[in-house]
Amino acid sequence: MSETVYNRIALLRAERGVTRRQLADALGVHYQTIGYLERGEYSPSLYLALRIADHFEVPVEVIFSTTPFPRIGERTA
């Protein structure tokens, strides 16, 4: 069983014009942590995941998943 946590942090940042450093500053983490999260090299704690969702004002499951998100433009059945 894979313990990979997929995320849409980069997508949300791009949509909202937020840099890694700006997001990191808002969350009180190092900017490299945001990069590690986006690349899937680091899985967030539950607390950090909830804070990221709160920052973007979306439910946590919009940002994080245990299964890959469909690619943009990909149709789902």
Specify the CATH number for the domain of residue 30.
1.10.260.40
Beta bridge partners of 6: 65
Distance (Å, whole) CA 38 – CA 6: 8
Count structural domains, the chain. Answer: 1
Percent of the chain at pLDDT exceeding 90: 81
Q: What is the pTM of this model?
A: 0.85
Average of per-residue pLDDT across 54-61: 97
pLDDT band, residue 4 (cuts 50/70/90): confident
* pLDDT tens-place string over residues 17-33: 999 999 999 999 999 99
1 lies in some domain? no
pLDDT reading at 75 higher than 80: no
pLDDT band, residue 76 (cuts 50/70/90): low
Tell me the residue range of the domain where 30 lies.
6-65
71 lies in some domain? no
pLDDT of 73: 72
Beta bridge partners of 65: 6
